[in-house]
Each structure stands twice: as structure tokens, then as C-alpha cells.
Amino acid sequence: MTEIREGRDRMTDPASPPQGPVRSAPVAGAPAKEATPAAEAVTLPAQARRRTRVPSNRFLARAAGLTAVLTVAGSLLGLVRDQALAHFFGAGPDTDAFLVAWTVPEVASTLLIEDGTALVLVPAFSLALALRVAGSTGRDPVHELVRYTLPRFAAALALVAAVLIAGAPLLVDVLAPGLPDPRTAVDCTRLTATCALTFGLTGYCGAALRTHRRYVSPASIYVAYNIGIITAMVVLGSYGGWGVRSAAAGVAIGGGLMVLVQAPFVRSELRARRTVAVPEGDRPADAGTTTGKGLGRRLFAPAMLGPVLLFALLRQSQVLIERFLASELPAGAISHLNYAQKVAQVPMVMSLMLCTVTFPVVAQALADGDTEQARRRVERDLALAGCIVLIGAATVIAAAPQIVGLLFERGAFTPADTAATADVMRVYALGLLGHTLVGALIRSYFSAARTTWYPAAAMAAGLTVTAVAGAFASGVWNLPGVGPLPGAGILGIAAANALGITVTAVVMLLGLSGRTVPIRTGTVARGLAGLTVAAGCATGAGLLAAAPFDNAVAGLACCALCVVTVFVAVAHVLRVRDVTSAVRTLTTALATATRKLRHVR
């Protein structure tokens, strides 16, 4: 495993020169306006801030490119995993049972790897590193933070895993009460419940490594995870007689592999990075207050855990609502929703890569009081993410049958399954822009380490729309005196998902300016509207381009080329800002990553 690093370790090098004017502003992790301060919180001396080095644009481009490459690899393996699931088990009751159990790792990945603990742990590790640079005369702040948080974190997660295993029958009954035979789902849930521990440790390691500017091993976790699942399905499912339970066992194995690919690098950082020796004359007068017993407790700010975890849980609850409603529909409905969602969300995942890498940059700018730099960065990221996801959505809508047929139509997955999944995928794609905006904006809300409940409230509003609209649109509820809506069923559930997440994205976009980053809401909204019009035109052109081809590969290739060409042309005619710079940024990131691979270590 190689790692990308900027120089030796410029972030924590006390000899690094100042990188521009220093503003007397709170740093990430310190109490600030709208924040709920942690007891005995540690503040960062101004001298330490002057030693913090801002990463170069070249380093950010290379990190984003390598992260994108590994994420694509993980996503492709995820598609192979879904192909194997479709091939071995089709889209019937056994697959529905596994996908109910799959809810546990889906929720755990959001809470513990992606949008949850990382938003809390990254500021804590950042402050510990900065205190180390300040010249602590006592214990290493990073070591103290790990000693305080890791044992408690692991013990709490182990307890949650044990509760999930014991309560699996009740959990299955709550998630999918309409399953005809819940026993398989219960067995699968007990196996997947182990990810409550392994995913949590994965997220902890990832936060520590990204704070140290090590990106390769955290980005490779889903490669290891999907390899574990695929291997388990082939070995245990084909030769061991485990059936669909082999996929659940693969989740348990894959979770352990995600920890193993990161643990050696975390251990290396903890062993190599000791307290920095700073001459007495250069040591801040208040450095001694950042050392001693209890430092780890003071570095960790638990006040953010509530709003962050609540937002992540509400966001993932969209999947719970879909499967709850789909469990009342004919067998295979949950499977069609799952396959459609997995494929449709690939453009969203790719669109958020740069936001993942630039999250610390925005946080640093806000810590230094440079709100203008933070605004420019966030607006640029939103434009880039919007371009990528809307081009992807247009391609998904235009070539849905070809995509699903190429990926899944083999073995027990029939042409009827292809048609049903393609229809659902097209409806899902209508909400991809909303999903992307929510994923990008949540980083901006918490980049200043401020405790705010606004994102959770916005997510709750969107979730309510999803639940109510989904109940009526799926036919689970009927309008008084009207009966079921025309076409009610699985497509109604997908449409409710798109509507609910779009409501959340609009509410979060409107509320960001007055809370964290002063973005120009009107300018951003007009740019996204222009991109949406361009995507609509590109979708129509893609449908026409794919129609003449009987060969799925040729039709998909022609469709994708036509979509990109028409999208860029229409956006240029509409004079949508940042389209050219967004495409150039993406191209530069990928080209730089490829060209510089020989320099990573």
C-alpha cells in the first residue's frame, strides 16, 4: 500500500514558515458562536496557528485524483458484488431478506465512516496535531487523544453490536414486517451486525489518517470490503451451502479487512510522531495548559456528536422508509430498488470526491477567519459537483436499460428484472442533484466545528416528505375517496425519495449563508438551474442517440458521448458560470494523480 504525502510532514513541521497573515479567530474544535462549548475545552495558541501549513493546490489535486481512482475501483467492485448477488440469488425473497439485513451496514457506514464521526474526530485530531507543533512539554497530545477516545469508542461500539445481534428478530420485524419468512433475514442481520464495531474502527482510523494527510489507505477501504463480500459469496455460497447468508458473512469479513488496511498506517503514525521539541524561547506561554492528565478528554468535543449523528441517521433513514414500504409490495421490490439505487448513485459518489479532500481546506480558512476563501472554495466545489452528477444523471436516465442489462442480466436476473430496475433507476436519478448538494453542504455546515441543529432539521423535513409521499405514491396509503394513485407502486417510492432529498437540499442551501459560509445563494442557485436545463437537453439527446443501437455497449457509448457534448454546449449557450473551470479542475486532478503516481510512498 502506498501513501500520498506532501513533502515529509509539513502540517506538523515546526520549522515551516508562516503561510500568510494570521487572523485572531477561533480554530476548529474551539468554542465559537452558535457552538456548545465542551467542558474545559483546549484553545490553540496563536503561535501554533502560524506554524500550520496550508496544502498546495497541486497536493489537493493529486489527493483528489488518487481518492477518485480508488473510489472508482471500490464502486466497480461494488457493482461486481451486486452482479454476483444477482447472479447467484436473483431478485427474489432470499435477496430481499439479505437486503433487509444490509440496512445495518448501510446505516453504520453513514454514521461511522462517512458523514458521522469523521466530522467530529477530524477537528479533534487537527487540534491535537497543532498543539504538538506548539511545543508541548508533557505528553504527546495525539497520543493522549487516542488513549482517551479509542478504548471508550471501541467498547461502546462492541456493546451496540451485541445488542443488534441479540435483538435481530425484533429489528427485522420493524424494518420489514411484510416478509413472508423472516428467519433468513434474522440470520443475515446477526452476521451484518458485527459491522457496528468494525465500521466504527474504520472511521476512527480514517479520521486519524486524513488529518495526517494520508489519503490512500482510507480511500481503499471499500476495495477491501467488497473483495471480502465477493469472496465469501463465491466460496461459502457456491461451495459451502450457505446460500444468501454467505453475502452477510462477507459483510462481517469485509468489515474486518477495512480495519486491517488502515491499522498499520495508524500505528506507524502514532509510533513515529512524538512530541515536537521546541526551544524554550519559542514556546508559547500557555503551552503548559495543553498538557498533563485529562488532555485527551479536553481535546475531544462531544457537543457536535448529537447534531452530526442525528443528521446522518435521518439521512440514512430514507433507505429504511423505502424498504419498509416496499416490503408490502410483491417479492423482488426491495431488490429492484437496491440494484437501481446502487447504480444511480455512482455519479453522486464521484461528484463528492473533491469535497471530501477540500473539507479540511474550508475548515482551515474558517479557522483563520478567511470567509472569502471559504466562500470561493465552497461555490467552486458546488459547481464541480453539480456538473459531474448532472452529466451522470442524464446518462443514467437516457441509457438505463443498457446499463442494467450489461451489469446484471445474467443467471437468475431476468429481462423482466432488467426492465423493472431500469424504470426505478430513471426515477431515482431525478434526485441525484439533491443527494449531491446535501453531501457537499453538510461539510460546510460543520467545517467550523460549530454545533448547529439546522442540517438535522432540514433532513427531518425532507424525510417527512419522503415518508408521506412514499406512503401515498406506493399505494400503502390511499387518498380518501380516491383509492390508490394511478401507477402506484415501486416507482412511487423512488419518486418520493427524489422529492424528499430535493427538499432537504433546497432548505440546506438557503440556510448555509447565515450560519457558516457566506455563499452567494442566488448566484449558486442560478448556476445550478442552468446546469439542470443543460442536463435535460442532454438527456433527450442521449435517448435519441442510444435508440438506434441493438448492441448495448455501442448504444451506451454513443449515448454518453452525446450527453457530454450537448451538456457542455447548452451550458455554454446559457452562460452558466464555472462550467469550464469545473471541467478543467476535474481533468487536472485526474491527470496530476496519474502523472505523479511514481512519487507517492
In degrees rounded to 5, what are phi and psi of residue 483?
90, -165
Task: State the Cα–Cα distance between residues 416 and 210, nearest whole angstrom.
Answer: 44
pLDDT at 572: 82
User: How much is the CA Rg of the chain, to the nearest whole Å?
Assistant: 24
Degrees to nearest 5, angle at CA 519 with 363 and 440: 55
Residue pair 134/280 in contact (Cβ under 8 Å)? The answer is: no
Task: State the Cα–Cα distance between residues 492 and 484, nearest whole angstrom.
Answer: 11
Task: State the Cα–Cα distance between residues 314 and 316, nearest whole angstrom.
Answer: 5
Measured CA distances, 591 to 278, 584, 588, 597 (Å): 40, 10, 5, 10
- Residue 225: closest CA among 57, 319, 105, 385: 105
Measured CA distances, 183 to 189, 248, 253, 320 (Å): 10, 14, 21, 19
- C-beta neighbour count of 328 within 10 angstroms: 14
pLDDT at 324: 80
pLDDT at 538: 93
SS3 label, residue 483: strand
pLDDT at 513: 73
Q: What is the DSSP letter of 16?
A: P
pLDDT at 479: 58
Residue pair 39/281 in contact (Cβ under 8 Å)? The answer is: no
Residue pair 82/346 in contact (Cβ under 8 Å)? The answer is: no
Residue pair 91/239 in contact (Cβ under 8 Å)? The answer is: no
Measured CA distances, 562 to 393, 397, 430, 528, 529 (Å): 13, 13, 19, 21, 21
Task: State the Cα–Cα distance between residues 601 and 598, nearest whole angstrom.
Answer: 8
For cell 457530454, name the residue: 564
pLDDT at 587: 54
Amino acid at 326: A
Measured CA distances, 420 to 117, 297, 340, 537 (Å): 37, 52, 9, 25
pLDDT at 593: 47
pLDDT at 463: 92
Close Cβ partners of 579 (under 8 Å, ≥ 6 residues apart): 383, 387, 531, 568, 571, 572
In degrees rounded to 5, what are phi and psi of residue 351?
-70, -20
pLDDT at 53: 54
Cα dihedral 188, 189, 191, 196, rounded to 10, equals 150
Residue ranges for the chain with pLDDT beneath 70? 1-58, 60-61, 64, 115, 130, 133-138, 272-298, 301, 360-361, 363-369, 448-449, 475-488, 514, 577-601
Question: Would you report the helix, strand and coil content of the chain in percent, each value rounded to 5?
Answer: 75, 0, 25
Dump strand ranges (E) for 449-569.
Answer: none
Close Cβ partners of 178 (under 8 Å, ≥ 6 residues apart): 327, 328
SS3 label, residue 155: helix
For cell 448477488, name the residue: 85
pLDDT at 32: 40
Task: State the Cα–Cα distance between residues 114 and 117, nearest whole angstrom.
Answer: 8
Residue pair 262/202 in contact (Cβ under 8 Å)? The answer is: yes
Residue pair 216/195 in contact (Cβ under 8 Å)? The answer is: no
For cell 498538557, name the residue: 291
Residue pair 246/230 in contact (Cβ under 8 Å)? The answer is: no
Task: State the Cα–Cα distance between residues 425 and 401, nearest whole angstrom.
Answer: 9
Q: What is the pLDDT of residues 60-78, one digit of tens each?
A: 667 767 777 888 888 788 8
